Amino acid sequence: MGMKTTMAKSEVEVNQDGTVRGLSNLAVQMIAFGGSIGTGLFLGAGSTIHRTGPAILFVYLMIGIFFFLMMRAIGEMMYADPQQHTFVSFIGKYVSPQLGYFAAWSYWLELVLAGMAELTALSTYVKYWFPGTSSWMVQIVFLLILTAVNLAMVSSFGKSEILLSGIKILTILVLIIIGFFLVTTNHHNPAGTQASWGNVFAHFELFPHGFHQFINAFPMVFFAFQGMEFVGITTAETKNPRKVLPHAVNQIISRILLFYIGSLLVIMAITPWKTLNPNESPFVQIFKLAGLPAAAQVINLVVIVAACSTLNSAIFSTGRHLYQLAEESSSKSMSFFTQVSKNGIPVASVLFSALIMVLAPIISAFNSLGTAFSFISSVSSDIYILVCILTMSAHYRYRHSVDFKVDGFKMPQYRWANPLTVIFFFAIFVSLLFNQASIFPALGALAWALGFNLLLLYRQKKLKRVDVQGS
């Protein structure tokens, strides 16, 4: 994968493996927005505010800082080797091939399930307007459209993500602007409250519903940031990666914190947080207070866009992960997934990943499968934390390897920042074991990790025995 050639006509860089560097700096940032700003903010923020009140701002800030540190670690490794199609490949390179294999397949599965979850959500949002529509039909239509976008050209995917993420960002900016207006004019709400910055920290308590609820908010917010690491999947198809990557990584975290913390701050300033309904989107509630009767309709459209954006990024990312797995595999059966189209798309791996997501409409057709799917999705999300821990371990090993690039895009203060991030991610996982709702998925994630690696060890020993007997 080392060399690059240039297409004279289009002036687009082509990697030696045939994939194309067609993503701009803006597209890379929007892909990260697409993955990490979604329904967790537009629909789920009411629940997190209800748990901790204004202290939720500290939770978002803290997790945002640690995600930034992880992004700097990923950015440093991708800067040193921008030919990699996924950051997970560094786990196999610097930690161990076995754990790298586990992380790659686990992360691919997590992204596939995330895409399936977005498909399920999309059908729910569409049925808000068209209750008589079949869920499976809605899901297949959206999957076909977004798969077609992914198969067109890398630049087409980038442009679609700029549009989809742009709508989400515009919605948040409108909320913040309206919020500032309501607060500065001391807007009187129908409930008898008044918009004021004093609403945010009036009678402030760090644990208004107890320490347990405060701790439980951390995993919820952690998963809301999930998807930011998509930047570490776009590098191999980004124009001028060593120029774009540092800008993209450094700018993303500040903007995400602005949109998350800025919107939550405004929401709690417009009306006291205790008056918010945790079961309804806080965006809907605030737009209603601002006198927008169609608030629920507007937000329903935005969450459809948000789900499309996340699904779009999931199809892109699953395709690149499977392609990287096939590239690194010695199995002949995996060589099928290394096919690259004339447009520079790893077409076989993208199509296969999208095909697996067809399980979502099948599950929707059988209600009895819904509970099992929810459990598997939760297990997969918990495995994501383990992948994050392994990624940080890979970065630490990279810093002590011969590949370390002294003049690269270095993670700041890695000697303490790296171990501290690992400890924080580990604490997030441990907290899942003390919550009745999350303990079984967390145990399921541990069982998957243990079972996968034991099976891999057994397979390796069996192959060694065959080699010994053969010789």
What is the per-residue pLDDT across 419-444, written as a single tens digit (0 to 9) for each? Answer: 999 999 999 999 999 888 889 999 99
Q: Are 249 and 25 in contact (CB under 8 A)?
A: no
**Average pLDDT of the residues in 366-379:** 73
pLDDT at 370: 66
Instruction: CATH number for 23-456: choose from 1.10.3080.10, 1.10.3720.10, 1.20.1740.10, 2.40.50.1020.
Output: 1.20.1740.10
The span from the first CA to the last CA of the chain, in angstroms, equals: 34
Residue type, 223: F
Residue 33: its pLDDT value, please? 67
- Output the pLDDT for position 7: 40
Instruction: Assess whether pLDDT exceeds 50 at residue 296.
Output: yes
Question: What's the pLDDT tens digit per position in 129-145?
Answer: 988 888 889 999 999 99
More confident residue, 159 or 185: 185
State the pLDDT at residue 12: 59
Alpha-helical (H) ranges within 185-236 are 198-201, 211-225, 231-234
Q: What is the pLDDT of residue 398?
A: 96
- Give CA–CA dist 427/422, Å, rounded: 9
- Residue in 8, 410, 76, 68 with CA at minimum distance from that of residue 235: 76
What is the mean pLDDT of the segment spanning 160-177?
Answer: 86
What is Dmax (Cα atoms) for the chain?
Answer: 85
Q: Is 280 exposed, middle or buried (0-12, 13-18, 19+ CB in 10 A)?
A: middle
Burial environment of residue 462 by CB neighbours within 10 A (0 to 12, 13 to 18, 19 or more): exposed
| Residue 397 confidence (pLDDT) | 96
Mean pLDDT over residues 320-338, rounded?
84
Q: What is the mean pLDDT of residues 5-14?
A: 49
Q: Specify the pLDDT at position 405.
A: 92
Q: Is 4's pLDDT higher than 50? A: no
Domains of the chain by residue range: 23-456
The pLDDT of residue 9: 40
> Which range, of 26-30, 46-50, 325-329, averages the lowest pLDDT?
26-30
- pLDDT confidence of residue 3: 40
Please classify residue 366 by burial: count the beta carbons closer than 10 Å to its beta carbon, then call 0-12 exposed, 13-18 middle and 19+ buried.
Answer: exposed
**Mean pLDDT, rounded, of the chain:** 84
In this structure, of 82-91, 206-215, 284-293, the range with the lowest mean pLDDT score is: 284-293
Q: Are 316 and 156 in contact (CB under 8 A)?
A: no
Average pLDDT over residues 240-263: 83
Note whether 235 and 249 are within 8 A (CB). no
128 pLDDT band (50/70/90 cuts)? Answer: confident
Beta-bridged to residue 5, according to DSSP, are 14
Average pLDDT rounded to a whole number, residues 105-121: 88
The per-residue pLDDT for range 377-406, each reduced to its tens digit, is 788 889 999 999 999 999 999 999 999 999
pLDDT value, residue 19? 62
Q: Which of 192-196, 236-240, 244-248 has the lowest mean pLDDT?
A: 236-240
pLDDT band for 285, please (50, 70, 90 cuts): confident
Please list the residues that pair with 13 across neighbouring strands: 6, 21
CA–chain centroid gap for 313, Å, is: 9
- Residue 15: pLDDT band by 50, 70, 90 thresholds? low
Given a cut of 80, whether residue 79 has pLDDT beyond it is: yes
Give which of 99, 110, 32, 106 is closest to 397, Cα–Cα: 99
> What is the pLDDT, as a whole number, of residue 269?
92
Mean pLDDT of 297-312: 87
Percentage of the residues of the chain whose pLDDT score is greater than 70: 91
| pLDDT tens-digit map of 339-365 | 888 878 889 999 999 999 998 888 877
Nearest to 382 by CA among 420, 434, 439: 439
pLDDT above 90: residue 27: no
Give residue 399's pLDDT: 96
Highest mean pLDDT among 98-107, 322-331, 385-394, 446-455: 385-394
| pLDDT confidence of residue 10 | 46
